[in-house]
Structure 1
Amino acid sequence: MVEVLKKYIPERAAAPVFALIKEHAVYLKIVNERVTRHGDYRILADGQHQITINVSLNQYRFLVTLVHEIAHLVAFKKYGRAIKPHGKEWKHTFQFLMLPFIRPEIFPSDLLPYLARHFKNPKASSDTDAHLSVALKNYDPPSNKNYIFELPMGSTFQIYNGKIFKKGKKRVKRYECIEVSTGRTYLFQPNAEVDIID
């Protein structure tokens, strides 16, 4: 299993991650890409703890996502199922589990400051932290997609489901964008990846 993990996460992280998987009896399933999530955790009908992670993630995002999902399992076991999925119990658990991995032997030095800042108060998704998301994206294979924050005001773009939007003004952290077919306004994270339409 350690050798299999080395295909998906940094080599130095494989043995300690395997120890976590074994300790918490995780059934790890690597799946085809899902646009709306990087991974998830659920208890199956037979009581087994299943974690699914997208195969398409780069090794650093895969590691963060896997530990994120293991933190759900550990927090629910420790505090009960009544806790909020991304509440303080999960945050403390995620910080505790992730801390041993935030080292230069595992993550490149340019990612370490973003990870350190993120884990002061971890978000429900690494994508919600625009700075960390963009830093992690640098380790993805090249793509022709653009981030919303890179597009000029008034640009037209398409998202994964084919819907077309026009970029509007920034509202605190997110951008107001108008869906062209309905005229409805939606808010987009600055690091949302889209296809620009000429």
Structure 2
Amino acid sequence: MTHYEKQIYKRISRFIPESATDLAFELWQQKPFRFVISKARNTKLGDFRIKPGEEAVITVNENLNPYSFLITYVHEVAHHWVNEQYKSRVSPHGVEWKLAFKELMLPFQNAAIFPEEVLKALNLYMRNPKAASLSDIHLAKALKNHDPINPDEVSLLDVEKGQKFKLENRVFEKLESRRTRVRCKEIKSGKYYLVHKMAMIIPVK
């Protein structure tokens, strides 16, 4: 293993379950890419991007728990594999991506890697994976149970309409709920945002 390969292996191993590291690294070995650990982003958990003539780049947020990180990693690797075959000729989360994601994720779907409740929700989600794993409320809840605990935080799903709350040092008011997101108003600017139901927020009294 080269020095660079050892760096990638170590980078992957820091963020996912130990039992998944070899499999995850093999995905990188088969179709290498630049792997970047990103700061927390509320708009996305990870992404895949590539410019003509340049190396593909995959980023995953550093604040994800090991199970969320692994699912996001494989999700983005699936984009990389689809791009290698089809370039930009297919929909980003179309049939080709779904098939690639299901194929790449299958070896990880076992009790040696995921806790029982996460594995059960993951198996259901993978029957027809969506663009965002957190769009599946059952999987999102199962994964949230493994996030670090902040006693001041609660899920946005668990507070009443009209409740004011803090998110990223900004104050919002919870408005109407939609399928997977909640329409919220930022108090200072008066602007409206869609926030995921499972977002962890701090209620403002």
Return the TM-score normalized by structure 1. 0.87
User: Greater shift after overlay, 42-51 or 137-146?
Assistant: 42-51
TM-superposed CA distance for 1:62, in Å, is: 0.9
Q: Does 1:121 align with 2:128?
A: yes
Output the CA distance in 2 between the equivalents of 1:165 and 1:190.
Answer: 14
**1:104 has 2:111 as partner:** yes
C-alpha distance in structure 2 between counterparts of 1:66 and 1:84, whole Å? 19
Alpha-carbon separation, structure 1, partners of 2:188 and 2:110? 48
Alignment of 1:40-119 (within 5 A): 40-44=47-51, 46-119=53-126
User: Cα deviations across residues 42-88 of structure 1 (Å, max 9, x unaligned)?
Assistant: 22564212211222211111110110110001011122312121122
| Further displaced range: 170-179 or 147-156 | 170-179
Q: Deviations over 1:81-109 (max 9, x none)?
A: 12121122111111111011010011111
Tell me how far apart the structure 1 counterparts of residues 19 and 179 of structure 2 sit (CA, whole Å): 39
Tell me the C-alpha RMSD between the 2 structures.
2.2
Q: Where does residue 160 of structure 1 map in the other structure?
A: 168
Residue 140 of structure 1, aligned match among 136, 147, 156: 147
Three-state SS of the structure 2 residue aligned to 1:116 is: helix
Segments of 5+ residues of structure 2 without an aligned counterpart are 1-5
SS of structure 2 residue aligned to 1:81? coil
Q: Name which of structure 1's ranges 103-112 and 137-146 shifts more when overlaid on structure 2.
A: 137-146
Native 8 Å contact 2:137 2:180 kept in 1: no
- Pair 19,155 (structure 1): closer, same or farther in 2 beyond 3 Å: same
- 15-24 or 173-182, which deviates more: 173-182
Equivalent residue letter for 1:20: L
2:26 alignment counterpart:
19
Give the number of equivalent residue pairs: 197
Relative to the length of structure 2, the TM-score reads: 0.84
Query: Which of 124-133 and 104-113 deviates more?
Result: 124-133
Q: 1:31 to 1:78 in 2, by over 3 A?
A: same
**Identity level (%):** 37
Counterpart of 2:12 in structure 1 is: 5
CA distance in 2, matches of 1:32, 1:169: 29
Structure 2 distance, partners of 1:26, 1:74, is 10
Q: Which runs of 5 or more residues in structure 1 are unaligned?
A: none
Task: Give, in angstroms, the shift of residue 171 of structure 1.
Answer: 4.3
Q: Residue type of the partner of 2:46?
A: G
Distance (whole Å) between structure 2 residues aligned to residue 36 and residue 174 of structure 1: 12
